[in-house]
Amino acid sequence: MGGADATVGALAEVIGVGVDVVDIDRFRRVLRRRPRLADRLFTDAERAYAARQADPTRRLAARFAAKEAVLKSMGVGLGACALRDIEVVRDEAGRPSVALCRSAAGLADRHGVGGWHLSLSHSDLVATATAVAVRAVARP
């Protein structure tokens, strides 16, 4: 499962839209209380990307919001798959997209997802993500 580029050359039918907002200070407190939680939620690449930033928690919170938004866009919630199986990746221009593996890829296949559109944003207070799951439809 790739990002939005999976629908290039085809019309895209929207399967669902998911939105999530994360309170950054609350997320920071949770990560401090449970230091191993980040290893369960994020891939090595996501943690490495966040660690290069002045405030890694803002980037991790945005990625957590993205994972929840992806699940919501398929009409399921937390627990439907391992969150590490949903990864926020960036293309050469820095645009975020979704890469899925293992349980998340199977879930997306069962829901007919052929690609994604993803938007992330954060301030000092909150991180937000919007995920649009699309099904590729052949051009007439």
Q: Quick check: 18 pLDDT over 70? A: yes
End-to-end CA distance of the chain, in Å? 24
CATH of 4-137 among 3.90.470.20, 3.30.365.10, 3.30.70.260, 1.20.1250.20: 3.90.470.20
Beta carbons within 8 Å of 84's beta carbon, 6+ residues apart: 40, 41, 42, 43
> What is the per-residue pLDDT across 98-123, written as a single tens digit (0 to 9) for each?
999 999 999 999 998 989 999 999 99
Q: How many CB atoms lie within 10 A of CB 25?
A: 12
Is residue 137 scored above 90 in pLDDT?
no
* In the chain, where the domains are located: 4-137
Q: Beta 11-23 vs 126-137: how paired, if at all? A: antiparallel
Question: H or E element: which one contains 30?
Answer: helix 24-33
